[in-house]
Structure 1
């Protein structure tokens, strides 16, 4: 394996000098759900990866009312081969192949995962390059290693940090202590937040392929004065003009303030809308009200659970219900939170998180930093798979055996507890990274 070479022309006075700058390139492939994605990254020593190019095609599931696994598998089988061919021609990969192939190994739908995993194996064999099978959610965590276009001076988070991952298939809060050590602090007890938002939007009659985005657009289209009116209406009971009841889940006299096991719960949001529709006609005004309240309360439920985790694991004391609660200091040293996943692209969610998170429980909140990946990199993409693969290569010095199978369920706290990891030879790493 030989790294690529680039000739750089440097001008000094009236003359020119030449030097060689060494780097390596990574081809990344993602197909865990309904997006076929490619990315070509360039990595130089000591610098963040550079995105050379990316490509994405998404299955339109509007007609089927949601993603059908067999349809997604067929979509990837039809699309990803031609995408590789087009991408290869665009960047001359046949004559100058990338140095590493990264692909999503799991978690996800097995049929969808198989499409990119199999083609990655073929490219690895054909080009004689190492393959790295990446955990999909690790990609969402590590996309924070790239500079943010809106805040380019923000440095990447330093371990330990919190990772709040909110997507269509997963919702969890992680304590990320290293690239391979992620402790699950909160996960959902029923469905993921993205799935809940999609189902709620569909129940309200909102149409489109990406229903979470469509719901966000619909809520944002509500006139400000009407949104302000809605914000002042309580839905704790049905004693409002809409007779619509919606409360934060897991709150109430039968739920301890600090439970032994922290969870999210998103199924009740759909149930509340269905209960309303069973005895009420959905008018445009009530549709606006329910959409506004549902989206906001879903986000506030997430923040409420995270705040309880800060109370439970923070380093500051807090008075609650006449008692002094002391955190166990598990979050000591945490000074960053990464928000990622498709739902993380919602601007209202980002604003609420910064406004309502109880950072005082972590100590000095003035030096706390939120990390919001670029909106286009919050949804599933191949760039994050390439970034995570680079971290696995450079930090863990591992690649993936070509005999591996896709993994439907792969807990984040068991990143290395699966078959197929191979330790790379030191000489191989040095050649690649030019140490």
Structure 2
């Protein structure tokens, strides 16, 4: 007997990207993302503006996702949505819409943890991309989160270490702002770093116990360094921007890799998967590939479109939960702080 396909409409609205995707089982049929450009002039995401933009974008984005997938809403098996973590106003838009649509269509509702979705994005079926075997270690790095997670199976995860202050994405963006780069600065630091000398300016690495991270001290040391150098030479940043970016990126990557090596040593697990927007950074990818050959790791990096915030990663969790009957009732509410269950 032929197995019936499961069609999941997924909605992601945790921060400043409105996204909708349609999954057929573990395969992406469509993955639409509407990015909010308005935050660039403010140098960071403004929560109130983000939630308003989600309200404007959510209907056309969902319509586009269904049209691209060539799926009628009445064919859907369930609605999956990001419950948290994230910005409360943004989450409320996606949560409310998902609840209403599921109720109107009379189909199940599935809540998804955003960070769990970054990890399980590795299980979206894509040609040329391998899926990690259990157990594996996941390094989730984004604008709001930095975590090392032990993944025993789809729904058994343990956070081994996380940031005590700024996330790695914040560290990139805030240090970029210090040297006069526009928001979002992380990708620009990466681009300029490719042309610079990573050993030009040694920055201190914070001493944090265990597998936790800290980036606020690094940000402060870079600020003081720039203030000191520009006082002596007002053109210092302009003359050395590529070397500054390369040195910043080198230090951040070293901090991440030191903790990851420690986690591998402690657990004995040499399968390492990365996820989150910062996993697009070339320095991190190169460091992982170098360590793979040096220390015998197997590294997993998802397709680029599944690294940044997107609804397909919400959809794969929705599919996996649907198979196990893990549904949510209509009393569910958005949760700004939502630890991986």
**TM-score when normalising by structure 1:** 0.72
CA apart distance, 1:346: 1.3
Q: Which residue of 2 aligns with 1:181?
A: 156
Work out which structure has the larger RCO, using CA pairs closer than 8 Å and 6 or more positions apart in sequence. Answer: 2
Within a 5 Å distance, the mapping from 1:14-53 to structure 2 comes to 22-43=4-25, 49-53=26-30
Q: Which residue of 2 aligns with 1:85?
A: 63
CA apart distance, 1:22: 3.0
User: How far apart, CA to CA, are the structure 2 residues paired with 1:128 and 1:378?
Assistant: 32
CA apart distance, 1:32: 0.2
Deviates more, 1:95-104 or 1:126-135: 95-104
Q: Deviations over 1:201-243 (max 9, x none)?
A: 11111124x32112222223x2xxxx3xx245462xxxxxxxx
* Alignment partner of 1:276 is 2:276: no
Q: Deviations over 1:302-359 (max 9, x none)?
A: 1011222333x1xxxxxxxxxxxxxxxxx24x34111110000112211112324798
CA apart distance, 1:82: 2.6
User: How far apart, CA to CA, are the structure 2 residues paired with 1:91 and 1:175?
Assistant: 34
Q: Which residue of 2 aligns with 1:59?
A: 36
Q: Which residue of 2 aligns with 1:169?
A: 144
CA apart distance, 1:79: 1.1
Q: Which residue of 1 aligns with 2:167?
A: 192
Give the conservation status (yes or no) of the 8 Å contact 2:139–2:148: yes
Give the conservation status (yes or no) of the 8 Å contact 1:172–1:187: yes
Q: Compared with structure 1, are the counterparts of its residues 186 and 357 closer, same or farther at alpha carbon in structure 2 (3 Å cutoff)?
A: farther
CA apart distance, 1:286: 2.4
Give the conservation status (yes or no) of the 8 Å contact 2:66–2:73: no
Specify which structure has the higher proportion of helix: 2
Give the conservation status (yes or no) of the 8 Å contact 2:6–2:319: no
Q: Deviations over 1:354-400 (max 9, x none)?
A: 3247985xxxx3xx421100112100000000001111222x42101
Give the conservation status (yes or no) of the 8 Å contact 1:310–1:358: no
* Alignment partner of 1:341 is 2:269: no
Give the conservation status (yes or no) of the 8 Å contact 1:168–1:194: yes
Give the conservation status (yes or no) of the 8 Å contact 2:277–2:308: yes
Specify which structure has the higher proportion of strand: 1
- SS of residue paired to 2:5: strand
* Alignment partner of 1:386 is 2:308: no
CA apart distance, 1:92: 6.0
Q: Which residue of 1 aligns with 2:255?
A: 301
Give the conservation status (yes or no) of the 8 Å contact 2:29–2:69: no
Give the conservation status (yes or no) of the 8 Å contact 2:205–2:255: yes
CA apart distance, 1:52: 0.9
Q: Which residue of 2 aligns with 1:96?
A: 74
Q: Which residue of 2 aligns with 1:377?
A: 306
Q: Which residue of 2 aligns with 1:215?
A: 189
The structure with more radius of gyration: 1
User: How far apart, CA to CA, are the structure 2 residues paired with 1:23 and 1:73?
Assistant: 34
Q: Which residue of 2 aligns with 1:243?
A: none
Please, which runs of 5 or more residues in structure 2 have no aligned partner? 231-235
Q: Which residue of 2 aligns with 1:398?
A: 326
* Alignment partner of 1:129 is 2:83: no
Q: Which residue of 2 aligns with 1:419?
A: none
- SS of residue paired to 1:119: helix
CA apart distance, 1:23: 1.1
